[in-house]
Amino acid sequence: MTSERKYNEADGENEALSFDYYDDDDDFDTFADGDCGCDEGVLGFSDPFSSEVKPRILLMGLRRSGKSSIQKVVFHKMSPNETLFLESTNKICREDVSNSSFVSFQIWDFPGQIDFFDPTFDYEMIFRGTGALIFVIDSQDDYVEALSRLHLTVTRAYKVNPDINFEVFIHKVDGLSDDHKIEKQRDIHKRANDDLADAGLERIHLSFYLTSIYDHSIFEAFSKVVQKLIPQLPTLENLLNIFISNSGIEKAFLFDVVSKIYIATDSSPVDMQTYELCCDMIDVVIDISCIYGLTGDEAGTPYDKESMAIIHLNNTTVMYLKEVTKFLALVCFLREESFERKGLIDYNFHCFKKAIEEVFDVRLKVQRSRKLLSQRRWSKQTVPNGTQVHPH
């Protein structure tokens, strides 16, 4: 099992990791500002806790732009070819993706023909609880109307909730040449931002991504959208930087196994080919585990605490996958001479895993404290017969 990939970075000194200086107080402050919820069992660690509303991701765009196909391919493992037979969405579809995955949020898929600014439609309620708004534009169609709807949607949403992350997926680019892709992105970027500037809304930031369900670009784009909703992201990146610098590892990703979204990586740039190799490796591990990892009468998941894989590529590069939690996997790239110190890498990984647990333990404690505080405030405002007391 080989694949072509080459790295030229020099090895550094390899040391056993120590996270003794890890500052829980800093993380407490970081997480206290976040509003991501964690369902029971989502994190994969002991003592799970659920108390907060999950952030909401809205999928919007014109009809037949590919919104439902994106959702089915990323979160339901549907084959891209099967999406050709999907019927057009004619009502709002809400899905909670946190039950079988690490990432914890809701996806609301809006039909293209719905007028959610109708007076009878409470769009303020929808935008108020939204973490990210993804607007899908069909790059193979005339996008003048799509840009008009994008401007209307963004301006209304921003007035209700200025903290929304606005993401634009320039979709269905698989049928375009590289030069045509860049030209389309530049044109859409210019027109959308010019419309905002004309309305005096230059402070609104739009992020643009070229996507297709026929390659890994849609997974990478969704990874970057989801990362913005994870308040622990800076801490996770810092831990990954410490881990790779002390282990002779060149690149590391923290993957959500179910969706193949990477929730964090180290500070070095992400290479699309490297990301694709990681996704392929996860598929190989899951497929082989489904065939050989479970007996016929055994119930359970093919991915568990014993899951581990090593793939030697034909360019002296080694890919190393280790289970972090039942939903998370660490995928590393390193050279063969660095992999000879596997014992050191495994010890450092053990320290890294413990640090990850501490990160989310802090998050769970914050949630528990908030829930208890909320319950106490509610009980103080309620008299024994159950009627609420309104303070003056």
Going from N- to C-terminal start, the domains of the chain cover: 56-229, 232-367
Q: Which tops the pLDDT comparison, 160 or 373? A: 160
Domain 56-229 matches domain 232-367 at the CATH topology level: no
| Per-residue pLDDT at 49 exceeds 90 | no
Residue 149: pLDDT band by 50, 70, 90 thresholds? very high
| Per-residue pLDDT at 35 exceeds 50 | no
Q: What are the residues facing 388 on neighbouring strands?
A: 382
The architecture CATH gives domain 56-229: 3-Layer(aba) Sandwich (3.40)
**pLDDT tens for residues 336-353?**
999 999 999 999 999 999
CB 154 within 8 A of CB 206: yes
Which residues, 6+ apart, have CB-to-CB distance to 178 below 8 Å? none
Instruction: State CA 204 to chain mean position distance.
Output: 22
CB 323 within 8 A of CB 356: no
Whole-number pLDDT of residue 309: 92
Which residues, 6+ apart, have CB-to-CB distance to 57 below 8 Å? 105, 106, 107, 108, 130, 131, 132, 133, 134, 225, 229
Mean pLDDT value of segment 77-99: 82
Query: Helices 178-198 and 144-160, interaxial angle, to 10°?
Result: 50
**pLDDT tens for residues 156-194?**
899 999 999 999 999 999 988 999 999 999 999 999 999
Which residues, 6+ apart, have CB-to-CB distance to 202 below 8 Å? 193, 196
pTM here? 0.76
The mean pLDDT of the chain is 80
Best CA proximity match to 306, nearest among 290, 319, 322, 291: 322
> How big is the CA angle at 360 (ends 354 and 365), to the nearest 5 degrees?
120
- Return the number of other C-beta atoms located less than 10 Å from residue 117's C-beta: 10
Whole-number pLDDT of residue 380: 67
Q: Which amino acid is at 273?
A: Q
Which residues, 6+ apart, have CB-to-CB distance to 304 below 8 Å? 323, 326
Q: How far apart (Å, rounded) are the C-alpha atoms in residues 129 and 126? A: 6
**pLDDT tens for residues 266-308?**
999 998 899 999 999 999 998 888 888 766 555 566 777 788 9
Mean pLDDT value of segment 248-270: 92
Does domain 232-367 bear CATH number 3.90.1170.50? no
Quote the radius of gyration of the chain (alpha carbons, Å).
23
Q: What are phi and psi of 21, to 5 degrees?
A: -90, 5
